[in-house]
Structure 1
Amino acid sequence: MNAHIVVVGGGGSGILVANRLRCYCGSDGVRITVVDRYDTRDHEAELLTVLGLYGPDTLHAPEHRLLREGIAFLQAEAAAADLDRSEVALADGTTLPFDILVVATGRPHLPGPAGGSSFVTRTAGLADATGTVAVDPRTRACRTHPRVYAIGAGASDTSGAELHAQAERLARSVRGYLAADPPPAHPAAGHRETAGSDT
């Protein structure tokens, strides 16, 4: 299986879902990249892991704080996605190809002063009338684009337990999709890698 999963959004939801995807889709050939303009990973927890205070036979860092081994992180702003070309356009003008796109922006992005412009609303055909990604709640798959998934209820009151359940459903769904219909490989030349999500 040769696939690239891009997660747009590196906050708690994005890191959580990337880690679940690594568990479920960890076979050779599946690459996962998380893209966010801010580096929200917990470097203090990473240091404690290196020092042996977190890790096997010790305390474990919360899953939403650290990316698992084998997940790439790209600090860049995801401007929008071209769903027909399967590419995420980055603010610096480069593109990042994907086979699976996960939107993990974690909050609704409504047009206007309150929400401003966002990755979701700038991506043609992705947002519904409320400015969020409409998904099947059982699979977290986008209702209009089968290779796009999203996590987060689009509201600030989504509980941690619900986000964990969404991440689990999403990861299982992506694994099933890849096992049934492996996507074609993208040419690597001229592209940078990373990932994100929203409901």
Structure 2
Amino acid sequence: MPVVGVRAAVGLVTVLAVAVLAGCGTGSGGTDARSSTDAGSRSDSGGQRVPYWVKGVGFTRVAQDLGVTVPRTATQRLGARQKGFQDDVLLLAFVLPAGEVDGFVDGLDPEHQPVHRKRAAAPAGYEPTAPFAHLGLAEPETLDGVTAGQVCAPCDGELDSLDITVAPAGKDRSRIYLRGID
């Protein structure tokens, strides 16, 4: 093909691409092809882009959604839900007296016994998609001397998976990190 023909073909492709892209948007006076019931649409998320943190969903609601009964002695109770593209992530964290941790973990009835890890599984600066940093906490994957494992996958009900990490939180106390996928 001569050089002039190649340039003409490239120009035509460029014009067509711009026309197609312009037709995909919603210019002023246009209508959006997505319906308000499409999963992940802006109307489902209150105009927010997915993923986003669900406002007003805290510790009590997340514990209920995870199906976890938190001991009354738990302190520093934190929880959040992140709305995702396909799945939501539920984060729950609290501190227990060290003497109550084994009973709590056993009560979850994990499929496999959690494993003690001397060194962090991830380097400092690790940022998961749904970070515990949202709750003001260090990521459990970056902590040394923790016990971690999967509680269930799949789980009963709507929960797809639940992971636990137990980290030292001072003298005779441990922080429980739970991350569920719903």
Q: TM-score, normalised by structure 2?
A: 0.24
| Higher helix proportion | 2
| Higher strand proportion | 2
Greater Rg over alpha carbons, structure:
2
Which one scores higher on RCO, CA 8 angstroms, separation ≥ 6? Answer: 1
